[in-house]
């Protein structure tokens, strides 16, 4: 029988986490799916682990390391289902995730051919949070400002949308999900199943250089989309992106690059993030103020204030 849903998991050297991801798919209450795993050149015996799992719905494909965008695109090409769902190999789903999304899309297919769900997030600081997106957060403006939907773990859509939206941009090593979602949102509406149905594990980029290339490419590609939201919106978005780059280079002890992007952020939009000034103090005077501030445990009320400031 042709599967109704194609689940696509790209992976690269995540043998320790992908087993949980796979089991969360195989345990779904909705059973009419195929599971396509695209191994992007793993060297940690991922293949042996997957071959040990005995389930006819699993299809495994290996490619030389080319990045997650290429892997997801190959997964879409290999898929046979009427709907496509993505899952990152270090995340997992609750058992009724596919069932609830499939039901939602069957009832709203003509209006919203794709939908995201709420999710639990395991944050870098060890804290856990529940994200339940509101429909207002699916607007193009909201996605351009800050994409919280994490479509590579929460999204399901009619496979036909790829004919109109296209595939994932292989030039992007980071942020390819947001890039694809922007293109999708300019054509279609996005539905939301607010109930948390996935578990997302937050990570910092491993390579500051790769993160820089992706951020700058993204900003240039979507320059007109960002400017269409107004000059203040555009300058603030630029500043936030430069701020993230400054922090990534700072945590790698690449202080000249941290200084470069901190100054660019302040020139674009001076009131953006207090931590920038600490980075600059550390760069110019050799202090470690930013590291010390990050290690402080703040009262809950102050943590909320810091989060609102950053947003």
Question: Alpha-carbon distance 286 to 297, whole Å?
Answer: 23
Tokens 């939301």 identify what position?
192
Handedness of CA 217, 218, 221, 226 (dihedral sign): negative
pLDDT digits (tens, 9 = 90+) for 36-66: 999 999 999 999 999 999 999 999 999 999 9
pLDDT digits (tens, 9 = 90+) for 186-222: 999 999 999 999 999 988 777 889 999 999 999 999 9
Q: What is the pTM of this model?
A: 0.89
**DSSP per-residue letters across the chain:** ---SEEEEEEESS-HHHHHHHHHHHHT-S---EEEEEEEES--SSHHHHHHHS--TTEEEEEE-S--HHHHHHHHHHH--SSEEEE--TT-EE-TTHHHHHHHHHHHHTTT-SEEEEEEEEE-TTS-EEEE---GGGGSHHHHHH-----HHHH-EEETTHHHHH----TT-SSSHHHHHHHHHHTTS--EEEEEEEEEEE----S-HHHHHHHHHHHHHHTHHHHHTT-HHHHHHHHHHHHHHHHHHHHHTT-HHHHHHHHHHHHHH-SSS-THHHHHHHHHHH---HHHHHHT----HHHHHHHHHHH-
User: Which pairs count as long-range contacts for 236-243, CB under 8 Å and 24+ apart, including other chains?
Assistant: 236/268, 236/269, 236/272, 237/144, 237/145, 238/265, 238/268, 238/269, 239/265, 239/266, 239/268, 239/269, 239/272, 240/265, 240/269, 240/272, 240/273, 241/215, 242/268, 243/272, 243/273, 243/275, 243/276
Q: How far apart are the first and last CA of the chain?
A: 47
Please list the pLDDT of the chain residue by residue as tens digits (311 residues): 678 999 999 999 999 899 999 999 999 999 999 999 999 999 999 999 999 999 999 999 999 999 999 999 999 999 999 999 999 999 999 999 999 999 999 888 667 899 999 999 998 777 889 999 999 999 999 999 999 999 999 999 999 999 999 999 999 999 999 999 999 999 999 999 999 999 999 887 778 899 999 999 999 999 999 999 999 999 999 999 998 898 899 888 898 998 999 999 999 998 767 777 788 777 777 666 555 555 544 444 434 434 444 44
Whether the CB-CB separation of 44 and 15 falls below 8 Å is answered with yes
Nearest-10 Cα torsion for 47, 52, 53, 55: 100
Report all structural domains of the chain as residue ranges with CATH numbers, in order of start: 5-201 (3.90.550.10), 208-310 (no CATH)
Residues 6+ apart with CB under 8 A from 268: 235, 236, 238, 239, 242
């Amino acid at each position: 029988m042709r599967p109704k849903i194609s689940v696509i998991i790209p992976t690269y050297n995540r043998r320790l986490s992908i087993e949980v991801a796979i089991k969360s798919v195989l345990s779904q209450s909705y059973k009419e799916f195929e599971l396509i795993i695209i191994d992007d050149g793993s060297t940690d015996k991922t293949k042996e682990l997957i071959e040990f799992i005995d389930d006819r719905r699993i299809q495994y494909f290996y490619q030389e390391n080319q990045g997650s965008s290429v892997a997801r695109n190959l997964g879409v090409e290999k898929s046979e289902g009427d709907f496509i769902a993505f899952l990152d190999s270090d995340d997992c789903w609750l058992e009724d995730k596919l069932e609830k999304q499939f039901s939602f899309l069957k009832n709203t297919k003509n209006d919203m051919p794709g939908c995201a769900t709420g999710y639990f997030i395991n944050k870098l600081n060890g804290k856990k949070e529940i994200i339940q997106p509101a429909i207002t957060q699916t607007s193009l403006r909201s996605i351009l400002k800050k994409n919280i939907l994490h479509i590579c773990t929460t999204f399901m859509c009619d496979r036909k949308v790829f004919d109109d939206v296209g595939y994932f941009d292989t030039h992007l090593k980071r942020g390819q999900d947001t890039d694809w979602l922007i293109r999708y949102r300019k054509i279609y509406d996005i539905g939301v199943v607010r109930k948390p149905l996935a578990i997302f594990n937050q990570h910092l980029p491993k390579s500051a250089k790769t993160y820089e290339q992706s951020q700058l490419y993204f900003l240039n590609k979507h320059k007109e989309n960002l400017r269409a939201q107004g000059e203040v919106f555009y300058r603030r978005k630029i500043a936030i992106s430069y701020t993230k780059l400054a922090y990534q280079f700072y945590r790698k002890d690449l202080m000249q690059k941290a200084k470069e992007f901190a100054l660019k952020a302040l020139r674009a939009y001076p009131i953006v993030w207090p931590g920038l000034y600490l980075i600059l103090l550390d760069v110019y005077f050799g202090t470690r103020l930013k590291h010390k501030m990050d290690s402080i445990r703040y009262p809950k009320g102050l943590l909320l204030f810091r989060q609102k400031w950053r947003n």
